[in-house]
Amino acid sequence: MILLSIETSCDETAAAVVRDGREILSSVISSQVDIHAAYGGVVPEIASRKHMESLAPVISQALQDAAVGMEAVEGVVVTRGPGLSGALLVGFSAAKAIAVARKIPFVGVHHIEGHLFAPFLEQPVDFPFLALVVSGGHTHLYHVEGFGHYTTLGRTIDDAAGEAYDKCAKILGMPYPGGHLIDLMAQRGNPDAIRLPRPLLRDGTLNFSFSGLKTAVLQLNMKSPVSIPGQDADDLCASFQEAVCHVLAAKTEAAIRQTGAARLVVAGGVACNSGLRLRMKELCQQLGVELSIPHPSLCGDNAAMLAVPGDYYLSHDIVSPMTLDVTANWDMDRITESSL
Ligand code: KG4
Ligand code: ZN
């Protein structure tokens, strides 16, 4: 089955053409990052307007890159939520319009379902598996039994890991989103230079908390501001990265031991992080767990990842009705076939 997938939940307008939920024929991502950077974060109204301008050309480009016409598309998959309502509506309405015009089915999937299954575009993973999703809005540990069967084992109680990275970057005067810049500086710094807190490390749950870490960086920088570029800034970034990765790895290890998981998926934008990738590799080697982390090009927001669950649902006749609406807040545990 050839699917057209569409993603507009935040600040990336993306479309992809994917065959059988496996083979990426094209994947186009138009980022609005430079526009929002001027405001230090995503401005919802601007995001919706930019999606409106970019979506049709992005879809055309995806079809052209895949060398298929719209008549070859057999189904449409789109992010239904969570995300910014106005932004989601642009992609969702377009998906419905294409489905009606072409008389093909469409299905609205959870954005994090896309991230979870991104590694399947390289190599499918056997169920069940444990998943750590780390992005700008999520830091969650899930037990995944199959498509549509997700149990949350732990989650952040405040900031997501990506959010903490971006806030730390902002404190240090770097542009939004600064996660990858902190990562670059961290690679030059000493991770033991500054002892930062490891929030909730020994609280006995699988939950995370990152807002205190950001406050610690803020206080340190207020006391003695670091200048960029410089060794002090590199050391602070390396110490921050060490604290984040330490907590993520410790909670993931606890989840592996608790569930007896044999496989681990790490996904989402922060899965691009060099320190986290290394840490997870070491952890899985030590515990004899099979690790799947997508190539960095598939970790951030893209439309191709949605085609994996989309292909499963549509090929099992799980189709969204035209009356379905977007949902800005949507818990993965509450996904059922009737909620699609
Ligand atoms: O998954 P994603 O593209 O969008 C959401 O669904 O949120 O994740 C974006 C997040 C941003 O917070 C960004 O700063 C972070 O991922 N990020 C990184 C790195 N690359 C992207 N954080 C740390 N290290 C990186 N190398
Ligand atoms: Zn995302």
- pLDDT digits 0-9 by tens, 206-263: 999 999 999 999 999 999 999 999 999 999 999 999 999 999 999 999 999 999 999 9
Amino acid at position 52, single letter: M
Residue 271 φ/ψ, nearest 5 degrees: -70, -10
pLDDT of residue 334: 78
Residue 289 lies in a domain: yes
| HSE-CB of 317 using CA atoms within 13 angstroms | 0
pLDDT of residue 340: 73
- Tell me, using a 6 A CB cutoff, whether residue 270 lines ligand 1: yes
Q: Are 158 and 79 in the same domain?
A: no
Q: Choose the final residue of a domain: 259, 278, 293.
A: 293
Residue 182 lies in a domain: yes
Domain containing 51: what range? 2-117+299-339
In this structure, which residue's CA is closest to atom 13 in ligand 1? 179
Q: Are 90 and 155 in the same domain?
A: no
Residue 212 CB: number of other CB atoms within 10 A?
Answer: 16
Ligand 1 centroid to residue 299 C-alpha, Å: 8
pLDDT of residue 339: 67
Q: Are 157 and 38 in the same domain?
A: no
Q: Choose the final residue of a domain: 276, 293, 310.
A: 293
pLDDT of residue 323: 96
Cβ(182)–Cβ(217) below 8 Å: no
- Tell me, using a 6 A CB cutoff, whether residue 300 lines ligand 1: yes
Helical residues (DSSP H) of 38-172, grouped into ranges: 44-66, 85-102, 111-117, 161-171
Report whether pLDDT(274) > 80: yes
How far apart CA 279 and CA 205 sit, in angstroms, is 21
Q: Are 256 and 286 in the same domain?
A: yes
DSSP 306: G
Report whether pLDDT(338) > 70: no
Say which CATH number the domain at 188 has: 3.30.420.40
Q: Is 78 helix (H, G, I), strand (E, B) or coil?
A: strand
Q: Are 253 and 131 in the same domain?
A: yes
Pocket test for ligand 1, best of 33, 133, 180, 330 (most atoms within 8 A of CB): 180
Question: How many independent structural domains does the chain possess?
Answer: 2
Q: Are 91 and 237 in the same domain?
A: no
Residue 45 CB: number of other CB atoms within 10 A?
Answer: 10
Q: Is 134 helix (H, G, I), strand (E, B) or coil?
A: strand
pLDDT of residue 140: 97
Strand partners, 126: none
Cβ(85)–Cβ(2) below 8 Å: no
Closest alpha carbon to 302 in 270, 277, 268, 330: 268
Residue 122 lies in a domain: no
Report whether pLDDT(201) > 90: yes
Q: Are 81 and 9 in the same domain?
A: yes
Averaged pLDDT, 149-167: 97
In this structure, which residue's CA is closest to atom 10 in ligand 1? 136
Residue 160 lies in a domain: yes
Q: Are 250 and 307 in the same domain?
A: no
- Tell me, using a 6 A CB cutoff, whether residue 234 lines ligand 1: no
How far apart CA 271 and CA 227 sit, in angstroms, is 27
Q: Are 162 and 304 in the same domain?
A: no
pLDDT of residue 63: 98
Report whether pLDDT(285) > 80: yes
Q: Is 325 helix (H, G, I), strand (E, B) or coil?
A: coil
- Tell me, using a 6 A CB cutoff, whether residue 267 lines ligand 1: no
Q: Are 254 and 313 in the same domain?
A: no
Adjacency order of strands within the sheet including 12-19: 23-31, 12-19, 2-7, 75-81, 106-110
CA–CA distances in Å: residue 9 to residues 17, 170, 207, 259, 269: 18, 23, 25, 32, 14
pLDDT tens for 57-86 read 999 999 999 999 999 999 999 999 999 999
Residue 249 lies in a domain: yes
Residues 6+ apart with CB under 8 A from 308: 18, 21, 22, 114, 117, 118, 120, 121
- Tell me, using a 6 A CB cutoff, whether residue 189 lines ligand 1: no
Q: Are 168 and 313 in the same domain?
A: no
Q: Are 173 and 202 in the same domain?
A: yes
How far apart CA 137 and CA 156 sit, in angstroms, is 10
Prediction pTM value = 0.96
Residue 138 lies in a domain: yes
- pLDDT confidence bin for 335, thresholds 50/70/90: confident
Report whether pLDDT(337) > 70: no
pLDDT tens for 25-48 read 999 999 999 999 989 889 999 999
Residue 335 lies in a domain: yes
